[in-house]
Amino acid sequence: MKSPHPRNAGAISRPLGSAFRSRPAQGLLIGLAAFVGALALRPFLTPLETRTWDMRVRSFARPSPFTDQIRLIFLDQSSLDWAYEENGLAWPWMREAYVPLVDFCRRAGAKALVMDVLFTEPSAYSADDDAALAAAYRRSGRIVQALYPSGKDRAWPADTPIPPPLHEVQCPEFLPDSFLAQAAGFPIPELRENAAILGHAASAPDPTDGVHRRIAPLLFFDGKPLVGLSVAAFLVANPGTPLAIERGRLQIGDRHIPLDQSGTALLRYRGPSQTHAAVSAKAVIQSELLLQNGQAPLISPDFFRGRYVLFGFTAPGLYDLRPAPVGPRYPGVEIHATALDNLLAGDFMRDLPEGWSLALLVAISLGAGFFVRTAASGLLSGGMSLLFLTLPLVVGWGLYPLGWWAPVAAPFAGSFLACGAALIVNYAFEGRQKRFLKAAFRQYLSPLVIEELLRHPEQLKLGGEKKVLTILFSDVQGFTSISEQLDPVELTALLNTYLTAVTQVIYDEGGTVDKYEGDAVIAFWNAPLDQPDHALRAVRAALRYQEIVEELRPTLVQRYGAELHARIGLHTGPVVIGNLGSEQRFNYTFLGDAGNLASRLEGINKVFGTRILISAATRTLIADAFPCRSIARVRVVGRREPVEIFEPLRPADYERRRAVMEAFQQARQTFEAGRFAEARRLFEALAGQDPPSRAYLARCLEMERQPPTEWDGVWTMTEK
């Protein structure tokens, strides 16, 4: 047999190579690469995924047919105020104060009363106080008493039997450690012996952001079952209901709760706080006392009749307000009410199985790459991109009513990568004008502004919009003296070195530099692009800003003989942002009082010897991302209302100076209380190592020499 001619071999290989140069093949390859990229990015997309889930929860939150079967009693701030003002009862309440509440629910014929309050220590009043509440529990016979799956108890108390049907439930060997509690905080014996059942009050906050999207309906402690408060309430109202733990589900009679691998159940929220009808503890207690005296109650017992009742805290000072998808301050007891509602309705949510999630990601990535790359025109490719970028949202929102958490972030990332790559290939030879504009304007505008203008050139016109920004003002300490020591050439070089370094920090954190005014830098975040974490970005930029200045200082001293120290002020507030100016010339900048306050805070650093000061508005938005110490409440020039100001710190710096800062806060509280001599002595011990303490020491001496006629604890500034 003759060998094939080499020319014939080449003829075979060319069609194979040309196949990969065809648009459909390239589209599929782009889609496959996008799938791999999105798969690699999945661990980093969790914050985006949870945010979109919370949006879905809020979109579909509706009461169920069983929502009206649940009632809530809130120990709110009005109840605390009433107890103190009318009865002289300070917090914590004596146990006997809860007795009328328990008796009223018994009188009303409630199916179960869940006491979402921990009584792990004997009453501070007397043993009779505990006995009174225990007797009320005994009279009711339908009390679910909360315990917490952490605490001092390492074994199940011998005097605490497990009621049926829980005594028959054994801990299966297949359960992971997440089902097992290593410790527990049991209520005192009098209450646990007289409660119908104990239920654990733990929920399951998401480890990534602390939002409560799930709950643990069953745990095991010391080999014995601990049901959640919602399951416990159901068992009290439906005695004898069998309970069994299986792989992936908790079976309760003819109902079941789907469980994920860690043993938690995904909640279907019904709406914002008080979607389940709620009343104040004050009104319930007053109603029982009125009925005992033969008078008409404030609340009819029919309100609770035949219903599940859950009692819990909502007063801010009692620390039971949790972040939830339907609100940032959602009462903990309502999380358990939601779980009970889901149990009654049988509509807990479920995570889409991993196989289906991967199939969805593959389909969207390949489809986006293929159809965008093969689109016949730029308009059509843009339309296909819009379709595939929207498709993950459509699927995610569409499967929610069916009870599934379908991933959105990873499919969106796959679609985004595929559409982006396909568009790049489609328009590889276009965009030269855009590149020219970038090169021309990058010396003047923030890269974010340039990108926004390239996407939306119609914004290149006069006008603005109202928006909340985080604004940074910075200045160099003693710059006038520095400028007098240097000739113009040296001063210009010094400024260029300094401004280049700090501007890069601002850009790295997504900020926009508004302008330079000599040595001063003005920048902002959350415009032109939305940045949900704009305050966090700004504070992080300010801390890095100071680090860069520290690093530059030795070089600048050696080169110019000038030692630079920067002061920074940050504030978050509403402004008008946009292209402001004249028809002949305009700048992308902002107007508003928020910028004035940021400027004031920069100047206030001089008073306290600090390097960075932020307002309470900025402090609230960054939450616990960085430790902050409260410096003072100040009244700045031009503002009547005082502003609380904070100094943000690196965690390591805060830990190193924790003792000083705690002592500072104690001294400051004494100062604000008007005890200036006592505060002076406290600040004297700190002044040698803490600049704000030195400022307060001087202020105390001034106040002692000339005591104020009126004192509200606010430090009034007399200079801008």
Please write the tens of the pLDDT for every residue from 128-162: 999 999 999 999 999 999 999 888 889 999 888 88
Considering the chain, what is the average pLDDT of its residues? 89
The residues, ordered by sequence, that sit 6+ positions from 421 with a Cβ below 8 Å of its Cβ are 30, 33, 34, 369
Structure tokens at 17: 């190579």
Q: Model confidence over 247-270: pLDDT tens digits?
A: 889 999 999 999 998 899 999 999
Report CA dihedral (317, 321, 323, 327) to the nearest 10 degrees. -110
Q: What is the CA radius of gyration of the chain?
A: 32
68-92 mean pLDDT: 93
The pLDDT, as a whole number, for residue 579 is 75
The single residue listed with the structure tokens 């643990």 is 216
The burial of 410, by beta-carbon neighbours within 10 Å (0-12 exposed, 13-18 middle, 19 or more buried), is given as: buried
Banded model confidence at residue 7, pLDDT cuts 50, 70, 90: very low
pLDDT at 9: 39
Determine contact, residues 385/368, Cβ cutoff 8 Å. yes
481 pLDDT band, cuts 50/70/90, is: confident
Q: Which among 268, 404, 255 has a CA at the least distance from the CA of 348? A: 268
What CA–CA distance (Å, rounded) separates 294 from 271?
38
Whether 483 has a pLDDT exceeding 60, the answer reads yes
Tokens 């005014």, residue? 517
Q: What is the pTM of this model?
A: 0.58
pLDDT of residue 8: 39
Asked if the peptide bond before residue 92 counts as cis, ω within 30 degrees of 0, the response is: yes
What angle in degrees, to the nearest 10, is found between the helix axes of 378-399 and 354-373? 160
Is the pLDDT assigned to residue 449 strictly greater than 70?
no
Judge whether residue 587 has pLDDT over 80: no
% pLDDT > 70, the chain:
91
With the C-alpha atoms ordered 246, 252, 256, 259, is the resulting torsion angle positive or negative? negative
pLDDT tens, position by position, 543-573? 999 999 999 999 999 998 889 999 999 999 9
Please report the pLDDT score of residue 429 as a whole number: 43
The reported pLDDT for the residue numbered 39 is 92
CB proximity list for 533: less than 8 A, separation 6 or greater: none
Residue whose token pair is 């009862």 = 89
| Assigned architecture for domain 461-651 | 2-Layer Sandwich (3.30)
Average pLDDT over residues 414-420: 92
Q: Kindly give the pairing relationship between strand 308-313 and strand 70-75.
A: parallel
Q: How confident is the model at residue 375 (pLDDT cuts 50, 70, 90)?
A: confident
Does the pLDDT of residue 460 top 70, yes or no? Answer: no
Residue 714 phi/psi, 5° resolution?
-95, 135
pLDDT tens for residues 59-75?
999 999 999 999 999 99
133: tokens are 């509440």
pLDDT reported for residue 430: 46
Report the pLDDT value the prediction gives residue 3, as an integer from 0 to 100: 40
pLDDT of residue 165: 82
State phi, psi for 716 to the nearest 5 degrees. -90, 125
What is residue 277's three-state secondary structure?
A: coil
**Residue 577 pLDDT > 70:** yes
Q: What integer pLDDT is reported at residue 670 of this predicted model?
A: 95
Q: Specify the residue for token string 């809130």.
A: 74
Query: pLDDT band at 397, cuts 50/70/90?
Result: very high
* Structure letter (DSSP) for residue 228: B
DSSP state of 690: -
* 206-242 tens-digit pLDDT: 998 999 999 999 999 998 999 999 999 999 999 989 9
Report how far residue 23's alpha carbon sits from residue 29's, in angstroms, rounded to the nearest whole number: 10
Per DSSP, what are the bridge partners of residue 513? 523
pLDDT at 173 over 90: no
Residues 645, 604 contacting (CB under 8 angstroms): yes
CB of 692 closer than 8 Å to CB of 631? yes
The answer to whether residue 413 scores a pLDDT higher than 90 is yes
DSSP H or E stretch at residue 571: strand 566-581
